[in-house]
Amino acid sequence: MKKGKIIAFCVFFALVFAVIYALDFPSWQKLDLNKIVNANAASILYDKDGNEIGAVAQSKNASFVKTKDIPEHVKNAFIACEDKRFYTHSGVDIKRIIGAVFSNLKAAAYEEGGSTITQQLVKLTHLTQEKKLSRKANEAYLAIQLEKKLSKDEILTAYLNIVYFGAGAYGIENASRVYFGKSVKELSISQAATLAGVIKAPSAYSPKTNPEKAEQRRNYVLSRMLEDGYISEDEMKKAENTKLEIQSQAGEAEFLWFRDLALKEASEKLNMTADEILTGGFKIYTTFDKERQRRVDEIFENESLFPKNASNGTKAESAFIAIDSKTGGILCIVGGREYEVKRGFNRATDAKRQPGSALKPLSVYAAAVDGLGMSPSTIIDDTKRSFDGGYAPKNAGGSYNGLVTMREALSRSLNVASVSLIEFTGIDRTREYIKRFGLPIEESDSGLSLALGSMTKGVTPMDLSEGYAALSNGGIIVDAHAITKIIDRNGKTVYCFTPSNKRVITTESAYILTDMLKTAASDGSARALKDVPCPIAAKTGTVSIDENSNRDAWTAAYTTEISACIWMGFDETTEITHLQSSESGSFAAKLMAEFMKGETGKAFTKPDSIVELLVDKQALYNQKRVWIAPENAPKSLTQTEIFIKGREPGVISPAFQTPKRPSAPEVFEEGEEIILRFTIQDESYEYIAFVESEGKKELIGTVTGMFGEEKEIRAPRKSETAVYTLACRNKIMYEAGVTLVSLESGGVEVEGRKSITGILENLLSGF
């Protein structure tokens, strides 16, 4: 018996200790009436420089109203809906709590809460949204304390002035104006019941975005008001039959796409609902750049920068995002050409589309450069043909170029060359690099068409901007994000962004790919950006339906500071709603160029391990040979190419050298002509024939030909003895304005032909 009492005693104290531990008394907040009197529950956004943007939603501050200015039927609507025994309990409604527990147990789900209006008020002003026993107990304690300090009317008024009603409206006065364009004094019973119903879940019951659900919720509140004797049955029926008409006085806030993005990210990081974030009083520090956002917003208002509407009037859609290349911070964003619904579909972050050629630098070309050490001057094949399985890709415009450099293939976006490249690098290696750049890829994305950006599900503009940011950032991937840190109402930092700083390719590879994409922006498929006032790399991409129409158009571009991506297309592609292939790609590139004209980035930093060399341009493009050119070679005949140190070519181009001395020609007499015959030893030489007679040298002819070809130069025979020679001139250099001539060959002497008078004089001189 004694032993049993000891065990029971121990169990009792263990339970007491567990309860005390769970209640966590040291963390409890104390009642501070100033937080209620001067409450501001709106969560505020700050830009990248720490300047306040405004509330996450539209209105930062509630417009406070006095008790006497709130009609009785408005107060009654909230009491009937939220706290039936408000005027009789002492802050906590025990009967309601018990009823809620049984209701939830019966439903096997959390369907009904037991918080009073007083408890909700102290939660909004003193506590976080954390679902813990200690927080709930602290809430009840504060509610009881508050009931001793303020009257019921003061508590109800404070609550109505603070609670969030959705659509950016904090407080009953703001809500009245946002939804109905009038002051709280003028609200009808139907409108009062609507607002009372909204606060349970502002997103779900907003009369702006969900009018049907808002009406159902309103009718529920009206039934509660009838049940509690606040309205008559006639008043209820009249209110139920009243159509909800929204007429807002509140102006739309700026930067709504970014606000929605920040709210979504905050909800994910803190594991809270959007409404909990909106009313939580958080300070949310973001990566937002107000100047860039205003610039892109202005550009998106310019109708001339977009394709024409479809024949049925449907607008071509578009999305844009720009992020900080070093940090991944989202600087500005546009989720569509019109902002229609709060926290609606954002095409910049949510729309997965086929990337087309915009994927090439992050897939097959990254695999070639980083995985296999290939350089911009590596030769690949752009000959029209069928690959394994009968796959026969086509180049845009139907032209094919045979052997081309990798720089030319990427900058001009040659499709067949890219498929040749993936055939060489291997599909598995290409898939690996797509994953490295953080892009989503399916198991089914395993064909040769992956080289052209053909994917099962596709990517978002944010995905591509992250990938290209890694090239700008020297090969280190960034995580696109809108929030740097969040501080709660008590000054505690509850979230802080931590970058991954993961290297995906080498610094050298990032620079090589960037250098090729600079060519694309200056002379290639993205040349619409050639006049941007700072160094820029870019790539376009289109996804075709047939020869005359496209499904998607992309342009990704980056400087040393930012990485941006734009998509254009129709949400649903049909025979009517599609892009014209003749113009779709240019619109995306032109819009990107308009945005980038406001940028001032520096030159991309060349790693010490990268060397720049002059190469023979004609040898590169005509003979497909990578030969080094001397520094004094004419600029028109060379181009600068980059190589990783230790992998540069070692052959000096013969095209810029003084020709070798030719052999003496064979010389024949044929009537009154002399024939010089010789064999072409170098097709880059121009053969020059000279004759010297009586101390005077003359040029008698020039000729060029193919290697091994026999040539001849004819000239009138001299009357005096003459010496005939050959020299070789560097044809390419001569055409560029530089004369390089070999030593003359050995001379061939031919006796002159005497006149008849001369012959007679010689004969007579013997007599």
Question: Please, what are the domains in the chain?
Answer: 24-240 (1.10.3810.10), 330-596 (3.40.710.10), 611-646 (no CATH), 657-756 (2.60.40.10)
357 among known catalytic residues:
yes
Q: What is the mean pLDDT of residues 506-514?
A: 98
- Has residue 250 got a pLDDT over 50? no
Alpha-carbon gap, residue 15 to 20, rounded angstroms: 9
What pLDDT score does 111 carry? 44
- Has residue 581 got a pLDDT over 80? no
Alpha-carbon gap, residue 660 to 658, rounded angstroms: 7
What pLDDT score does 104 carry? 47
584 among known catalytic residues:
no
In 229-386, beta strands by DSSP E: 283-286, 317-324, 330-334, 379-382
Residue-wise pLDDT tens digits, 183-236:
899 999 999 999 999 988 887 898 888 889 999 999 999 999 999 999 999 999
> What DSSP string describes 196-265?
HHHTT-TTTS-TTT-HHHHHHHHHHHHHHHHHTTSS-HHHHHHHHTSPP-----SPPPS-HHHHHHHHHH
Band (pLDDT 50/70/90 cuts) for residue 102 is: low
Range with lowest mean pLDDT among 503-507, 580-584, 602-606, 735-739: 580-584
Nearest Cα to Cα of residue 702 among 666, 669, 678, 719? 678
Alpha-carbon gap, residue 733 to 723, rounded angstroms: 28
Nearest Cα to Cα of residue 542 among 317, 300, 387, 359? 359
Highest mean pLDDT pick, 251-260, 462-471, 490-499? 462-471
Residue-wise pLDDT tens digits, 672-693:
899 999 999 988 899 999 999 9
What pLDDT score does 209 carry? 80
How far does the chain reach from its first CA to its final CA, in angstroms? 173
What pLDDT score does 7 carry? 59
Range with lowest mean pLDDT among 58-67, 492-501, 677-686: 58-67
Higher-scoring residue by pLDDT: 243, 54: 243
Are 349 and 261 contacting, i.e. CB atoms less than 8 angstroms apart?
A: yes
Give percent of the chain with pLDDT exceeding 90.
59
For residues 438-452, one letter each, b for 16 or more C-beta atoms within 10 angstroms of the residue's C-beta and e for the rest, the string is bbebeeebeebbbbb
Residue-wise pLDDT tens digits, 415-438:
999 999 999 999 999 999 999 999
Q: What is the mean pLDDT of residues 709-738?
A: 92
Band (pLDDT 50/70/90 cuts) for residue 467 is: very high
What pLDDT score does 135 carry? 61
Catalytic residue among 59, 206, 357, 363: 357
What pLDDT score does 400 carry? 94
What pLDDT score does 577 carry? 85
Q: What is the mean pLDDT of residues 479-499?
A: 93
What pLDDT score does 756 carry? 43
Are 329 and 260 contacting, i.e. CB atoms less than 8 angstroms apart?
A: no
- Has residue 107 got a pLDDT over 60? no
Residue at token pair 């024409």: 308
Q: What is the mean pLDDT of residues 284-301?
A: 96
> What DSSP string describes 167-205?
TT-BSHHHHHHHHHSS-GGG--HHHHHHHHHHTT-TTTS
Band (pLDDT 50/70/90 cuts) for residue 22 is: very low
Structural tokens at position 6:
């000891």
Range with lowest mean pLDDT among 120-129, 147-156, 311-320, 400-409: 120-129
Catalytic residue among 59, 82, 465, 508: 82
What pLDDT score does 398 carry? 87
487: which DSSP letter?
E
For residues 115-147, one letter each, b for 16 or more C-beta atoms within 10 angstroms of the residue's C-beta and e for the rest, the string is bbbbbbbbbbbbbbbeeeebbbbbbbbbbbebb
Q: What is the mean pLDDT of residues 742-755?
A: 84
- Has residue 342 got a pLDDT over 80? no
Band (pLDDT 50/70/90 cuts) for residue 44 is: confident
- Has residue 20 got a pLDDT over 80? no
Are 161 and 78 contacting, i.e. CB atoms less than 8 angstroms apart?
A: no
Structural tokens at position 646:
């230790």
- Has residue 41 got a pLDDT over 70? no
Band (pLDDT 50/70/90 cuts) for residue 276 is: confident
- Has residue 71 got a pLDDT over 70? yes
- Has residue 252 got a pLDDT over 60? no
What pLDDT score does 134 carry? 57
Q: What is the mean pLDDT of residues 351-361?
A: 95
Band (pLDDT 50/70/90 cuts) for residue 4 is: low
pTM of the model: 0.73
Structural tokens at position 329:
């911070």
What pLDDT score does 757 carry? 44
- Has residue 720 got a pLDDT over 60? yes
Band (pLDDT 50/70/90 cuts) for residue 623 is: confident
Q: What is the mean pLDDT of the chain?
A: 87
